[in-house]
Structure 1
Amino acid sequence: MDSDFIELDGVEKVFDVRRRTGFLRRERREVRAVDGISFRVPRGEMVGYIGPNGAGKSTTIKMLTGILTPSGGRLRVAGIDPSRERTKLAHRIGVVFGQRTTLWWDLPLRDSYRLMHRMYRIPDRRFRENLDRCVELLDLAELLDVPVRQLSLGQRMRGDIAAALLHDPEVLYLDEPTIGLDVISKAKVRGFLRDLNAERSTTVLLTTHDLTDIEQLCDRVMVIDHGRLVYDGALAGLHEVGESERTLVVDLEREMPPIELASDLAVRVVRVEGPRQWLAFPASASAAPLVARLAAEHPLVDLSVREPDIEAVIAKMYAADPSRQAV
């Protein structure tokens, strides 16, 4: 059970889509949102589940929560079939969808949490302890009496994360949990999730387009594209397979010719606009030696590192081998 806490064997989800082709005519076609996915997630692991828009990430999570029923294959969470025992599973999982809230729109956060207290039949003492911890670590104290509809996206996201954890779920599904958050709030959420995983061995499945979330939280990453699992392993391995690059944006004191560095890194200037230059280097490499060399040899004013786009990484993977299957 612990080694196969979440298990999928050849899981498929097919939707029938009808498109109007004439005044009284419609064309029917099948869309395979998930196409034969298989993987295992042990209890207590934090896994990044990433891919481009429309790849099948949210569909997978909806099947794992019981919202959708698979068209084929076998799926279990903690030994439970989600679609057949959805109510039983609900007490063991927490879910946060970045674009949809589980909170009551016109109620203050505090009242939403009280409703969940009753819905999940959480013991009073445990509820107070969990709520106090979430309020402190997610900085919600000043928001508890504010109606959800008046919260910013970032504030609502923090409120949703707290709501998903009040009943001590064994599994937490997070869909874009840091969307709309500023840098400080993102750091708080990431630290909170790390502590949660370390202290309570909560299993976390995280979908995001922010690779920093994955790098700071997950040792393992799975990539899905066109409904198929195309990579399962370490993030560094994904960068190597996709030959992805990070970009160092450098602001100099004055306009200069393209920077040339005598370095072991494969660094190249991809763009120059006045005193600003964009340097690309392998995503699997550390930026520290490159930054140190630049600071020593050039008049720097400012710099920043931009992470590679996930969709670009996957596009390169497919360009290198169109027939690539699950790893």
Structure 2
Amino acid sequence: MVTGITSTELIETAENSDTRVNVDIDNTQPAIIVCDLKKVFQKRSGLLRSHVTEEWALKGISFQVGLRETYGILGPNGSGKSTLIRVLSTLLTPDGGEVKILGYELPRDERQIRQLIGRVSVDAAFYKKLSARENLLYAARLYGIDPRVAEKRAVEILDRLRLAKRRFNDSLEEMSRGMQQKVAIARAILINPPLLLLDEPTTGLDPKSRRDVQTYLEEVRAEQGTTIVLTTHDMAEAERLCHRIGFITHGKLVAEGTADELKNIAGTDNLEEAFIKVTGEYFEKEEGE
């Protein structure tokens, strides 16, 4: 989970009206509007790597996410869901289509969009030698948040995520995967962004840590009115957290609706069976499942 850090990865935090970034938001339209989004990667092979082939990760995806909605993106590994989150996070530039986030357009308004989002990935990045406290305060500093305010909020968030206060000054490399992911989520929520982009935030966590994270995400949306986009291949998580769900496979969004609507479309009472029937794809199980 813990990898090398980049400046872009560090700018992904949020929470509390005292710390919310001061960027105007258009509340008259959906939080996210995606129309015919495309993303292609070029691969080089052969002698001197002179042969170039194109691999389309996103093939004309269109969807909308309402303000204060939690929207789930369900798909197996390699389906394009992580690429989609990275485009929405401004970490990848789209190769076609239109994207609007809280009234701002990609890629034109990347700077404003970065101030409005908190992002958590399955491979959260930190300064591993630093403590949870130091990582969070550094992220807060990037947003100009008073250190005293940031520390108070960080302690509150980690407490609600059920991370023991005695671990606050431990280095990240001494923490379990579940603890590290809780710190990543705290960092994303510390500045109270209006939009959270979560790429498999509970993958690999133990059952208790997973429940702690899910409960807190529900509380954040209810208390702060946060819009959440969540990628996962955990069916129970999708049904618990998401108002609507999109099925993605081979870079295409092939169906969307509430969990009940998707199950009705497939004629089943099981969301995973609905995904398999609609897409023809199966999910890889996590280790230990």
TM range (shorter): 0.7 to 0.9
Opposite residue 230 of structure 2, the aligned amino acid is: L
Counterpart in the other structure of 2:162: 139
What is the rounded CA distance, in whole Å, between the counterparts of 1:27 and 1:172 in structure 2? 39
Secondary structure of 1:155's aligned partner: helix
Note the C-alpha offset of 1:88.
2.5
Counterpart in the other structure of 1:316: 277
Secondary structure of 2:104's aligned partner: coil
Deviations 1:55-78, CA, capped at 9 Å, x for gaps: 111111111111111111111111
Note the C-alpha offset of 1:243.
4.8
Opposite residue 106 of structure 1, the aligned amino acid is: K
TM-score, L = length of structure 2: 0.81
Counterpart in the other structure of 1:93: 117
Counterpart in the other structure of 1:194: 218
Do residues 8 (structure 1) and 34 (structure 2) align? yes
What is the rounded CA distance, in whole Å, between the counterparts of 2:140 and 2:49 in structure 1? 51
Note the C-alpha offset of 1:181.
2.1
Counterpart in the other structure of 1:155: 179
Do residues 220 (structure 1) and 278 (structure 2) align? no
Note the C-alpha offset of 1:217.
0.9
Q: Among 20, 40, 43, which residue is 1:17 paired with?
A: 43
CA 319–191 in structure 1, closer or farther in 2 if over 3 Å, else same: closer
Unaligned runs of 5+ in 1: 245-281, 285-307, 321-327
Q: Which has the larger radius of gyration?
A: 1
What is the rounded CA distance, in whole Å, between the counterparts of 2:212 and 2:275 in structure 1? 29
Note the C-alpha offset of 1:239.
2.6
Unaligned runs of 5+ in 2: 1-25, 282-289
Note the C-alpha offset of 1:229.
0.8
What is the rounded CA distance, in whole Å, between the counterparts of 2:124 and 2:49 in structure 1? 38
What is the rounded CA distance, in whole Å, between the counterparts of 1:122 and 1:86 in structure 2? 21
Identity of aligned residues (%): 33
What is the rounded CA distance, in whole Å, between the counterparts of 1:153 and 1:205 in structure 2? 22
Contact 2:31 2:101 in 1 (8 A): yes
Opposite residue 270 of structure 2, the aligned amino acid is: A
What is the rounded CA distance, in whole Å, between the counterparts of 2:198 and 2:240 in structure 1? 15
Note the C-alpha offset of 1:5.
1.4
Counterpart in the other structure of 2:201: 177
Mapping of residues 150-299 of structure 1, within 5 Å:
150-243=174-267, 282-283=269-270
Answer 1 or 2: which has greater strand percent: 1
What is the rounded CA distance, in whole Å, between the counterparts of 1:214 and 1:160 in structure 2? 20
Write out the 4+ residue segments of structure 1 that deviate beyond 6 Å after TM superposition. Answer: none
Deviations 1:228-261, CA, capped at 9 Å, x for gaps: 11111011222333455xxxxxxxxxxxxxxxxx
Note the C-alpha offset of 1:13.
0.6
Contact 1:9 1:36 in 2 (8 A): yes
Contact 2:161 2:182 in 1 (8 A): yes
CA 18–142 in structure 1, closer or farther in 2 if over 3 Å, else same: same
TM-score, L = length of structure 1: 0.72
What is the rounded CA distance, in whole Å, between the counterparts of 1:107 and 1:148 in structure 2? 6
Q: Among 85, 98, 118, which residue is 1:61 paired with?
A: 85
Note the C-alpha offset of 1:19.
2.6
What is the rounded CA distance, in whole Å, between the counterparts of 1:57 and 1:24 in structure 2? 32
Q: How many residues align?
A: 254
Counterpart in the other structure of 2:72: 48
Q: Among 38, 44, 66, which residue is 2:62 paired with?
A: 38
Contact 1:223 1:232 in 2 (8 A): yes
Note the C-alpha offset of 1:212.
1.3
What is the rounded CA distance, in whole Å, between the counterparts of 1:153 and 1:59 in structure 2? 23
Secondary structure of 2:127's aligned partner: coil
Secondary structure of 2:34's aligned partner: strand
Opposite residue 162 of structure 1, the aligned amino acid is: A
Q: What's the Cα RMSD here? A: 2.1
Note the C-alpha offset of 1:178.
1.2
Opposite residue 213 of structure 1, the aligned amino acid is: E
Deviations 1:94-144, CA, capped at 9 Å, x for gaps: 00001x223211101111111112111124564244213212111221321
Counterpart in the other structure of 1:249: none
CA 228–144 in structure 1, closer or farther in 2 if over 3 Å, else same: same
What is the rounded CA distance, in whole Å, between the counterparts of 2:176 and 2:106 in structure 1? 32
